[in-house]
Structure 1
Amino acid sequence: MVLLAQHLARHRLREPQLLEAIAYFLVVQEAQLNSKVVQKLVLPFGRLNYFPQEQQFMPCLERILAREAGVAPLATVNILMSLCQLRCLPFRALHFVFSPGFINHISGTPHAPIVRRYLSLLDTAVELELPGYRGPRLPRKQQVPIFPQPLTTDRARSKYSHKDIVAEGLRQLLGEEKYHQDLTVPPGYCTDFLLCVSSSGAVLPVRTQDPFLPYPPRSCPRGQAASQPTTRDPAQRVVLMLRERWHFCRDGRVLLGSRALRERHLGLLGYQLLPLPFEEMESQRGLPQLKSYLRQKLQALGLRWGPEGG
C-alpha cells in the first residue's frame, strides 16, 4: 500500500477509489502502523489535494500523532504538512510540535533545517487559518523563510515554463520598472510576478513602493487586540500566478496541495491574485498574442498604465 501511495503522489494521479482504499487501510491497520509508514500513506492526500470520505481518517491520524509524535519528529512534521495542505490541522499535535521540548529536541538533528522550514509553514497556517488556536507557537527566532526560491519542480522544468515569455510580455507591455519577478514576500513565499497598483488602478514603478505586505497581517503582538486602528496602505499588490501544467494533478483540473496552499496564504495575506492557467497560455501563438492576452487580463482587473507600456 505504501508503494501505491508513493506512485500516486509521484505521478500526480488523483484516483479517488485508490485513495479511498489507502485511507481505509490506514484506519484498519492503525495499531500496526508507525509514523514513518503513516507519513508515506498520508503523502498523496495532501499532495493531490484530496480529503477522503473515510470518516475515521482524521480521528485515526490524531491518535497516531498522539502516540508517535515523540518517536519520529520528522515523520510527525511530514504528516502535519500533508494535513496542512488539506486544511485540517489537529490542535493537540500543534501543541506538541511547537513545544520547547520538541523544538530543542530537533535542533541538533541532521534534519533540523527542513523541520524548521516545515514548522515555519505550520506556524504561518496557524496565523492565517486558525484564529481559534491559543497554544504555543514557533518562536520568531526559530522561523525561516518557507519557500524562498522557485520550487524544485519549477527549476527542473524551467525550459518548459511560460515564465520567460510572460516576463517579456510584461516588459513590453508595462516596462521593466513596473513589476518584480521571483520576489520572495514574507513569510517566505516566492511570487512569479508582483505589481504595485494605486487605489485608482495605475501600475506604479516598483522602485517607489514597498512590495511587501506586513506579516503577521496585523500590527499588534500575537494574541493581543489592536488598541488603535492601523493606517491602510493605499497601494494594492497584485501577484500574477503562473499555473503550469505540472502544478495540477494529472487530470489538469485540481491544483496540487502545495500550490493551493501557497495561493490560499498569499490571498489571506492581502495579495490580489491573478492566475494565468496553462491552457490559456498555451493557446497564445507567439509573443504578440501573449502580450494581448496579458493586456486583457490586467485590464479586467481595472489596471491601467502609461502609453510607454503599450
Structure 2
Amino acid sequence: MAETPDEVEDVFLNFLGDDPKSPRQIRTQMTKQIAKDKKSAKAWTARAWAHYELDDFDDAVADATQAIALCPQSYLPWYVRGASYFCTGQTDEAEADLSEAIRLADSVKLFLEDAYRYRGGIRCDDNRTEEAIKDLNKCLKIRPDDSQAFGFRGIAYCRKQNYRKAIQDFEKAISLADDYPFPLSALAWLLATCPDKKICDGARALELAELANDLSGNEHLEDLAAAYAEVGDFKNAVKTQKRAIKQCQDPQEKAKFEKRLKLFESGQPHHALWGE
C-alpha cells in the first residue's frame, strides 16, 4: 500500500522530536530500510534529507527523486530536492521544486519557512524583488529570527534602492548571527559602494569587511578592497583587489574585479547600483 504525505511527514517528526537522531544515524537507518523496502517514500525522503544535511547534494537529489516518484503529493521530497539544487547553484530547478513544495503544503509545515527563504533568495538574485520580498516576509512570519532571510531581504531592498530598509535588515541579520559572514559582507559592500553618498560609511564598511573575512577565511576580499578605497587607502585597496582577482574563478566576475582594480589604481572608489 502506498504511503501518504502525512506518513512521510511523520517520519521526520519522529526523527526530530524528543529524541532527535543525527543525519548520519538517519542515513544508516534508512539505508537498511530501503534495502528491505525499495518502495518506501518515507525512507527515500528521510535519507535524502540526511544527505542534504551532510552536504551530499547529488545523493540528496537522487533519493528525493525516488521519493517523488513514489509519493508525488508529499511536499517534503520536493523541498529537499529544491534545497539541494539551491545549494549547487541550479536555481531554475530549485525554484521549480520549491514552488511545488510550497503549493503542496496546505498549512505551516516542517521546513516551509526554508522553502520560502530559498525561493526568495533565488528571486532576489534574478532581480524579481517584489516576489522575493513576499517570499521572505512569509519566511520571517514563520521564523522571525531567520538571519539569512533578513540578509536576502536586505539585498532585495538594495536592488530597489531602498537603502535605509536594506541597512535595517542587514543590521537585524547581524544581531541574530554575529558570526555569520553573509550579512557582514553585504552591509560592508553597501556602505562602501552605495551611489548615495549619504549612505556610505567607509570606516564601518572596513570594520565589517575585516570581520567577514576573518570569519570566512578571506572569502570576501572584494568587500575589503572596496572599503579600503572608500576610506582613501588605495594602496591596500589595490593590494587586496589583486588578491580577490587571483581567487576569483568566474570569468564574468573577474572582469568586474579587474575593472574595479583600475579604478583603485587611479585613486577612485567604486560606487554603483547593487550588482554592478
Q: How high is the TM-score relative to the length of structure 1?
A: 0.38
**RCO (CA 8 Å, sep 6+): is it higher in 1 or 2?**
1
TM-score computed with the length of structure 2 as normaliser? 0.41
- Structure with greater helix percent: 2
